[in-house]
Structure 1
């Protein structure tokens, strides 16, 4: 039992550079939320639903993390910071990392039967802060969900998803994937395959704006010149008119 706790704390230290020791990790709300969930889940499986809910509400009060007692969670699950909601039919694999303000939410069943309503996260998934994963979707192994992404469809293995609605960045997993990637986003490579093309495009647009500005100024100067010529013609005295010829 103690060995399992030590291994779990070491897995958290390996993914979070902040703690200086295992003792600090023991103060993390995500660690305590998982501890209380293990108890609530055991009660839930024993059909002691009310007691499971009591433990769940106590955990939510103490940690600001709401994990339904029915959720199935694997080994070395880590919630960094908190304010996370995990639904009843959610399934989470091993070595999954979730950052703050994430929702593993359910979809509204149209057939009136609850069934599988919440996401399934396979092993080594990382979910960035503020992400919303909704419905009975499956997030493939080693997939990364970027911060504030909204996911409503299955995510292939090793993919990185960003945006509203989340879309693949088209960055091949094998080019950057490691055993663990902090915050679920490749930091040294662009999230989208643009690189220097973006800077080049910005330079082109700035040059185009400069050319258009020069053309507009030239047209305005030409129009002012024409107005000045017309004014001089209007002020020129008229030629004398000979009468009686």
Structure 2
């Protein structure tokens, strides 16, 4: 009887995990569709988005990485396979929140100690890189709702505050406050005073 109860509990656990995984995938797809006007269906997004494929492979490699020990090398191999297939390099140690989306994807690099919150969007060519060889927190932290434009470089253990936007090709080496806009090389930060269609932060992305 105990064996039967154990088997039933195990099957319930597996089913619960599968349901959670399916729900996460649907959430990822819906979040991606909301940010990509060029896609017409969930099926197209699921099959043709390298950003989503990179994210899903990262989730697998990250879980392996967290187990430590002999799982670390296979985790790196999964991340390298993802890089070859998608053009997106995400270290398996990086921490990524919900509804993350990479548009186009090619050339994106996310380092080992990077931390990314919920509802973050990166465009192609973004580098979340480090500035030291020490075994410390050396990559950026992006809070919820951050958008980073194509070709931007965010280097070192800097923090990009919730809702901030980093413009295309900007080089950020200092913290950016929440809701601010960072543009230029090196990036300068400004706080939008009021909405102006000619200075919409999205124009810089």
1:102-181 maps to which residues of 2 (within 5 A)? 102-109=126-133, 113-172=134-193, 175-176=194-195
Of 112, 116, 120, the match for 1:96: 120
How far 1:75 moved relative to its partner? 0.3
- Structure 1, unpaired ranges of 5+: 177-185, 193-245
Which of 1 and 2 has higher RCO (CA within 8 Å, sep 6+)?
A: 2
How far 1:6 moved relative to its partner? 1.5
The answer to whether structure 1 residue 63 and structure 2 residue 92 are counterparts is no
TM-score, reference length from structure 2 = 0.83
SS at match of 1:42: helix
The answer to whether structure 1 residue 190 and structure 2 residue 199 are counterparts is yes
SS at match of 1:133: strand
* CA distance in structure 2 between the partners assigned to 1:6 and 1:157 by the alignment: 29
1:241 corresponding residue in structure 2? none
How many residues get paired?
177
1:79 corresponding residue in structure 2? 102
CA RMSD for the aligned pairs? 1.5
How far 1:15 moved relative to its partner? 1.2
Question: Looking at CA atoms only, which structure, 1 or 2, has the larger radius of gyration?
Answer: 1
TM-score, reference length from structure 1 = 0.69
2:15 corresponding residue in structure 1? none
2:36 corresponding residue in structure 1? 16
- Structure 2, unpaired ranges of 5+: 1-20
Q: Please say if residues 102 and 132 of structure 1, whose CA atoms lie closer than 8 Å, have aligned partners that are also in contact.
A: yes
SS at match of 2:25: helix
The worse-fitting range, judged by mean Cα deviation, of 139-148 and 161-170 is 161-170
SS at match of 1:45: helix
Q: Please say if residues 142 and 159 of structure 1, whose CA atoms lie closer than 8 Å, have aligned partners that are also in contact.
A: yes
Give the 3 Å change call, closer, same or farther, for CA 191–22 of structure 1 in structure 2.
Answer: closer
* CA distance in structure 1 between the partners assigned to 2:64 and 2:26 by the alignment: 25
